[in-house]
A = this chain, B = another copy of it.
Amino acid sequence: MTYCVGLKLNDGLVFMSDTRTNAGLDNFSVTKKMFTWSVPGERAITIMTAGNLATTQALVSVLEERSKAPSDRNPTILEQPTMFQVARLVGSTLKEVIAESGGDGQDASSAFRASVILGGQIKGGAPTLFLIYPEGNFIEVTDDAPFFQIGETKYGKPILVRAYDPDMSFDDAIRLLLVSFDSTIKANLSVGLPIDFHTYKLDSFEASEQSRIEVDDPYFLSISEGWGEALRAALGHLPRFRSK
């Protein structure tokens, strides 16, 4: 599967994705699922993908116009006037790619399906996130639903629902997301380290560098090991049940 989360904070956006891809349990490898485009001072756009790897790679290739000679490429994603228009472009491209593989987006076998989290900011607009479905349609983040997950979303959701706060700092958000990823990785073999992440600072119109947390990252290990202890302590602070 995959696990990706896009989070909207008052300070900007946070993106995190795992890197495991697999075809069966006996064939897995590491692949990047996070892609960023930017025009410094004008726009920064990130997408994260979940689903069929051929579909998601084709999506990114088409968005980057890799069918043209390198000198002729001028990705249309960099020419859309608003994030809403970028979402429409990514959605229609995704639907087309799925249709080429095996029928129409809506009817295509689940084998070719994929979904996307898109986020970023274009000068004149606010930073925002979209969740784009294989059918090409999409929903936008709101204050009531301030984050999107794709892939194996269930194990890591309760901690996000409980601990998310729009005022949190990027560093606190990354710590929260790593706990959410750790719970997911512990429960689903198709989600695995390394973990990629990056942050987009409000009104910076610049893509920060993407960072990668490797399998043996000492900070991640300290989170993973510390969380069991922290959870048991948290449980211990809840009122005790008294059986009658």
Question: Is the CB of A145 closer than 8 A to any CB of chain B?
Answer: no
What distance in Å separates the Cβ of A130 from its nearest Cβ neighbour in chain B? 22
List 21 A-B residue pairs with CB atoms under 8 Å apart, sorted by A's residue number.
A154-B187, A155-B158, A156-B158, A158-B158, A159-B231, A161-B186, A162-B227, A162-B228, A162-B231, A172-B235, A172-B241, A175-B235, A175-B238, A176-B235, A178-B241, A179-B235, A211-B244, A219-B239, A227-B234, A231-B231, A233-B237
Residue in B226, B235, B241 whose CB lies within 8 Å of A163: B235
Given A155-B155, A183-B158, A187-B157, residue A171 in contact with residue B230 (CB < 8 A): no
What chain B residues lie within 8 Å of A155 (beta carbons)?
Answer: 154-155, 157-158
What's the least CB distance linking A173 to chain B, in Å?
Answer: 9
Which residues of the partner chain B approach A228 to less than 8 Å between Cβ atoms?
A: 162-163
A156, A186, A234, A237 — most chain B CB neighbours (10 Å): A234
Q: Hey, what's the 0/1 contact readout for A213-244 against B, CB within 8 Å counting as 1?
A: 00000010011001110111111011111111
The answer to whether the Cβ of A174 comes within 8 Å of any Cβ in the partner chain is: yes
Cβ-closest chain B residue relative to A183: B158
Contact call A239/B222, Cβ cutoff below 8 A: yes
Which residues from chain B contact A154 at a C-beta distance below 8 Å? 154-155, 187
* A241 and B171 form a contact (CB under 8 A): yes
**A8, chain B: closest CB distance, angstroms:** 18
- Which residues of A are in contact with B by a Cβ distance under 8 Å? 154-159, 161-163, 165, 170-172, 174-176, 178-179, 183, 186-187, 199, 211, 219, 222-223, 226-228, 230-235, 237-244
Q: How far is the CB of A171 from chain B (nearest CB, A)?
A: 5
Copies of chain A in the complex: 2
Interface centre among A156, A162, A241 (most CB of B within 10 A): A241
Rounded to whole Å, the gap between the CB of A187 and the closest CB of chain B is 6
Q: How far is the CA of A142 from the CA of B60 in the complex (A)?
A: 46
CB-based nearest B residue for A171: B241
Q: Knowing A226-B238, A233-B234, A238-B223 touch, does A187 contact B175 (C-beta < 8 A)?
A: no
| For the complex of A and B, 5 pairs with smallest distance between CB atoms | A154-B154, A230-B234, A158-B183, A234-B234, A162-B228
Q: Min CB distance, A161 to chain B, in Å?
A: 6
